[in-house]
Amino acid sequence: GAVVSQHPSWVICKSGTSVKIECRSLDFQATTMFWYRQFPKQSLMLMATSNEGSKATYEQGVEKDKFLINHASLTLSTLTVTSAHPEDSSFYICSASPYSNQPQHFGDGTRLSIL
Amino acid sequence: GDSVTQMEGPVTLSEEAFLTINCTYTATGYPSLFWYVQYPGEGLQLLLKATKADDKGSNKGFEATYRKETTSFHLEKGSVQVSDSAVYFCALRGSSGSARQLTFGSGTQLTVLP
């Protein structure tokens, strides 16, 4: 079945560092991928919709200069947390689906811890 | 806009007990409905889905029926196992606008004791 791979699974870094998270669709092409953020014991919050070959669409309240999204190919989207601070520590999850009428498949998530 | 209201947890059950996790939704048109499961430290896995009224989704002993009259999609399992311990999310995908965007409920933590 459709598989979405997310890398890395866990990142610990110092405040001020920029961190890149990759989301790959392994056996299908995805013109659209989604990035979510999840705080402990809470639901997923959609951060942005990543569109291949065009700019991402950000949800209200999400800083586009802070969370840079690049969807350069049909199988890869990246989320870069720029100049990360402790408040950016969270679980970040991406999703994609082969077709618009099929369920989303989720990556295993990236736990980001900023010291 | 679209919204999903899910039974708050945590829910703690003994093995072989009956499980119900309530989920109701608000949406225009005819959304698709999903249940996702998240095991500790992992991403979400699709558990089951239903795309139209009266559809029943089922998988691994879990079931949920799309009830348009009550705008509900309650998750049930007749006999839970310790391995079912996880967080369960109800979600919907709207029938208009951003066709693939999901709206999630708040999640319900289930713990099954041996």
Taking the Cβ of residue A13 and every Cβ of chain B, the question of whether any pair is shorter than 8 Å is answered with no
Contacts with B, A 28-87, CB within 8 Å: 32, 34, 41-44, 46, 49
CA distance A30 to chain B (A): 11
**Whole-number pLDDT of residue B94:** 81
Q: Please check the confidence at residue A58 and state whether its pLDDT lies above 70.
A: yes
Q: In this complex, is the C-beta atom of B29 within 8 Å of any C-beta atom belonging to chain A?
A: no
pLDDT for A1: 58
* Percentage of chain A lying above the pLDDT 70 cut: 98
Which one of B2, B35, B100 makes the best mutation probe of the A interface by having the most chain A beta carbons within 10 Å?
Answer: B100
The angle at the Cα of B54, spanning A96 to B61, to the nearest 5 degrees, equals 70
Give the number of A-B residue pairs with CB atoms closer than 8 Å: 48
Task: Compute the distance between CA of residue B90 and CA of residue A71 in angstroms, rounded to an integer.
Answer: 28
pLDDT greater than 80 at residue A96: yes
Dihedral (CA of B107, B70, B2, A52) sign: positive
User: Measured between CB atoms, which of B42, B46, B105 is closest to A103?
Assistant: B46
Question: b vs e for A46-83, b when ≥16 Cβ sit within 10 Å of the residue's Cβ?
Answer: bbbbbebeeebbbeeebeeeebbbebeeebbbbbebee
pLDDT: is A97 or B75 the higher one? B75
Does the pLDDT value for residue A113 go beyond 70? yes
Give me the pLDDT at residue B97, please.
56
- Distance from B45 to chain A by nearest Cα, in Å? 7
Q: What is the per-residue pLDDT across B1-22, written as a single tens digit (0 to 9) for each?
A: 889 999 888 999 999 999 999 9
Written as six digits, the tokens of B61 are 């002993």
| pLDDT tens digit sequence for B21-60 | 999 999 988 899 999 999 887 888 999 999 999 999 999 9
User: Which pLDDT score is estimated for A39?
Assistant: 86
Cβ atoms A89, A22 nearer than 8 A:
no
Confidence tier at A97 by pLDDT (50, 70, 90): confident
pLDDT at A109 over 80: yes
Task: Quote the pLDDT of residue A99.
Answer: 78
Contact call for B43 and A106, based on CB within 8 A: yes
The CA distance from A97 to the nearest CA of chain B, in Å, is 8
